[in-house]
A = this chain, B = another copy of it.
Amino acid sequence: MKISDKGDFIMLEDLKQKVYDANMLLPKLDLVTFTWGNVSQIDRELGLFVIKPSGVDYDKLRPEDMVVVNLKGEVVEGDMNPSSDTPTHMYLYNHFPNIGGVVHTHSPWAVSFAQAKKDVQAFGTTHADTFYGDVPAADALTQGEIEGEYELNTGEVIVRTFMERGIDPDAVPAVLVSQHGPFTWGKDAHDAVHNAKVLEVVAEMNYHTSMLNPHTDNHVPQYLLDKHYYRKHGANAYYGQNNAKSKDHAKH
Contacts and interface: CB of A to CB of B under 8 A. Distances in A.
A36 B217 CA distance: 25
B115 A209 contact: yes
A187 interface: no
Interface residues of A, number: 74
Interface in A191-244: 194, 197-198, 201, 204-213, 216, 218, 220-221, 223-224, 227, 231, 238-241, 243
Interface stretch (A10-18, A94-102, A144-152, A164-172): A144-152
Identical copies of this chain, number:
4
Contacts of A227: 146-147, 150
A106 to B, nearest CB: 5
28 contacts: A33-B198, A34-B194, A34-B198, A36-B126, A55-B239, A73-B251, A75-B247, A81-B243, A81-B250, A84-B231, A86-B250, A87-B250, A106-B126, A108-B205, A111-B124, A113-B212, A115-B124, A116-B209, A116-B213, A118-B213, A123-B179, A143-B221, A143-B223, A146-B224, A149-B252, A179-B220, A207-B211, A210-B212
